[in-house]
Amino acid sequence: MTDTTTSPTLLTAREITLHLTGLVLLLGLLGLWYWLSTGARVVPTLIEMLKDDDPSTRIVAAEQLGQIGPAAKAAIPQLLNQATQDGSQHANTTASAALKWIDLAAARRVMTHFATRLQDRDVQQRRTACAVLGSLGPVAKPAVPALLAATHDADALVRRNALIALAGIGIPPGPIGIALLAGLHDSSSLVRQTAVTQFAFTIPVSEDAAAALTAMLNDPDKGIATLARTALDKPKAGDAAHIESLGMMLGHSTARDYALHQLAQLGPAAREALTPILPLLDDDHPLIRYLAVETLAGMGQGAKPALVSLKQRRDSDPIVQAAMTDAVAALESGIAPSPVPAAGATPP
Amino acid sequence: MSSLTMGKSSRLRVLTRLGFWFTLLVGFLLPWAIMLGVDTWVHQVPFSRAWRSFTLHLFAPGYNLFLVGVLTAIPFVILAIMILLHLGTIDSQKALIAHRRALGLLSAEVVMLAIAGWTHISVLIYPDAQGALAYFYLPALLLLSLPVGYGLGRALAKALLPRVTT
């Protein structure tokens, strides 16, 4: 203490150094806390949280596991249970959305479970099935025929959820676009509003859709008219600048899945983004690799330069490998991948 | 110029140390305290539930309350270092300058706390789709308000403090 009392300054150099060291320690502790609370290290804790009685805890845990991605494989059994058995629809959808980032095969198991429920006698089961299938995104592509059938369901909420699910899946864009176009003329204003919302924010606007949306600009429902305007103001499907910006977004991890999903829905027009798509075939996330393959397949002859590379690849994920085999077959035969029938099972 | 008495010098020394740690703690804890406070008093959520929700969303994607706190704390860390280096290194014989600097730093702290508090409360009470952007702009705004608040405090000190202190 002697140096303090005789110091020419308020604090001695030693005191200042000690305080700064304390600050560095505090920052280090905060960094350690963050490190221990994120990434694969927190998976065991999150698995425990999936067993919590409180649905909001299970929901947040599932969201965090989805963000961790393939490193959260240990959580698959618990997430499958939450996706298919949980009484809360939000818990079902968040668990399904997490699974698509962790393991595509597990996500497909959820899809199979709920695809059959689209014809359940219980209307709530059908509504939930649509919502869960939509949360799986493009991985639920095989469920598209059943969802197309659900767009003719007697219940408006089932039809609405089916349209949201179809927009969330996005591929193949042809039949999905037709179903959403039909949704613009649904007897329920809720379904019409949902359909126009998908054109405004989720799926590309085709020429047919643009014509229908133009007619909706004078809709007595101001909300629908505004959404139609938003959809029409969006960049057109073949807009070169739009495709270029989507291609640039592929380089950013946070926007990559959105950009790839948009490109996958553009079909042959996406060939302008071929160069930035090819490196994504080696991405760590199976979902990104799957979307990249689907985008290439949708390009048709525009993806011919990638054919040799696709044929030589062997993906560790069976779903990605199957998509790759289909894409190679389609590119070699010179036709687009097999279209999905517009009608499926009869609604209950 | 005047010398500080032993008592005043000792008080300023304690004030510097306390100011440093108070600024750091308040910088990190203010956003989190406001989140809990708004949930408890404005949204009438029982404290235990508000606490549970808060801890649940600390590292949750789309919320990341931990990073929100860290972002807000950055300017306060800079202010704390300023307190240490700008006030702590002053000649203990220069009482007037020490008091002017102390008032300048105190004023900067008050201005920054007012802006940070108002921003966090507004974002939580009037939620908006773009509201979270405020968390990204807030550190820059606080950094800008630091010299402004300091200048105000120095001006105030010049007007109020006597030229000679003993």
Instruction: Over range B43-48, report the average pLDDT.
Output: 91
Does the pLDDT of residue A146 top 70, yes or no?
A: yes
Which CATH number is A286's domain given?
Answer: 1.25.10.10
> Which domain covers residue A200, as residue numbers?
137-234
Please check whether residues A227 and A277 belong to one and the same domain: no
* Average pLDDT estimate for A90-98: 97
For residue range A225-240, list pLDDT tens digits in order: 999 999 999 888 778 8
Q: Where are the alpha helices (DSSP H) in chain A?
A: 2-6, 13-37, 43-49, 55-68, 76-85, 89-102, 104-115, 123-135, 144-150, 156-169, 173-183, 189-201, 207-215, 222-233, 240-249, 256-264, 274-277, 286-299, 307-312, 318-333
User: Which residue, among A265, A316, A268, has the nearest Cα to A291 in the 3D structure?
Assistant: A265
Domain that holds residue B76: 6-160
Residue A186 has pLDDT above 60, yes or no: yes
Band of residue B165 on the pLDDT scale cut at 50, 70, 90: very low
pTM assigned to the model:
0.81
Dump pLDDT digits (tens) for A31-59. 999 999 998 999 999 999 999 999 999 99
Asked whether residue A244 falls in the same domain as residue A228, the answer is no
What confidence score (pLDDT) does residue B62 get? 82
Q: What is the pLDDT of residue A236?
A: 80
Assigned token pair, A272? 């302008």
Check residue B70 and give its pLDDT.
95
Q: What is the pLDDT of residue A343?
A: 33
**Residue A327 domain flag:** yes
Residue range B46-64, pLDDT digits in tens: 999 899 889 989 998 888 8
What confidence score (pLDDT) does residue B166 get? 44
- What number is the average pLDDT over the span B128-143? 88
> Are A147 and A162 contacting, i.e. CB atoms less than 8 angstroms apart?
yes
Task: Answer whether B16 sits within 8 Å of A30, measured CB to CB.
Answer: no
Model confidence at A6, pLDDT cuts 50, 70, 90, reads low
Inter-chain touch B84–A11, beta carbons under 8 Å:
yes
Mark whether A229 and A251 lie in a shared domain: no
Range B29-51 average pLDDT:
93
Q: Residue A208: its pLDDT value, please?
A: 87
List the beta bridge partners of residue B91: A9
What is the pLDDT at residue A338? Answer: 44
Of the pLDDT bands very low, low, confident and very high (cuts 50, 70, 90), residue B164 is low
Q: Quick check: B87 and A26 CB within 8 A?
A: no
- Identify whether residues A305 and A256 lie together within a single domain: yes
Distance CA A3, CA A5 (A): 6
- Mean pLDDT is lowest, of A14-23, A201-210, B140-149, for A201-210
Are both A188 and A213 inside the same structural domain?
Answer: yes
pLDDT > 70 in chain B, percent: 93
* Residue type, position A298, single letter: G
Using the 3D structure, point to which of A234, A266, A292 is the last residue of a domain: A234
Tens digits of per-residue pLDDT, A294-343?
A: 999 988 888 888 888 888 889 999 999 999 999 998 888 875 544 433 33
Instruction: Let me know whether A206 and A291 are in one domain.
Output: no
The SS3 call for residue A136 is: coil
Boundary-marking domain end, from A234, A256, A291: A234
Q: Which residues of B touch A11 (CB under 8 A)?
A: 13, 16-17, 84, 88-89
- A286 and A323 both lie in a single domain: yes
Q: Is the pLDDT of residue A95 over 90?
A: yes
Alpha-carbon distance A165 to A150, whole Å?
10
How many domains is chain A built from? 2
* Whether residue A223 sits in one domain with residue A253: no
- Residues of chain A with a CB closer than 8 angstroms to some CB in chain B: 4-5, 7-11, 15-16, 19-20, 22-23, 26-27, 30, 33-34, 37-38, 42, 54, 56-57, 60, 63-64, 66-67
**Which contacts (CB < 8 Å, 24+ apart) does range A268-271 have?**
A268/A298, A268/A299, A268/A300, A268/A301, A268/A302, A269/A237, A269/A238, A269/A243, A270/A243, A270/A295, A270/A298, A270/A299, A270/A302, A271/A299, A271/A302, A271/A303
What does the pLDDT average to over A124-148? Answer: 96
Residues constituting chain A: 348
Contact A82, A55 (CB under 8 A): no
Q: What percent of chain A has pLDDT over 70?
A: 94
In this structure, the answer to whether residues A222 and A248 fall within a common structural domain is no
Q: Which residues contact B99 (CB under 8 A, 6 or more apart)?
A: B12, B157, B161, B165
pLDDT of residue A341: 38
Q: Which two tokens stand for residue A146?
A: 């059943």
Query: Residue A214 domain-assigned?
Result: yes
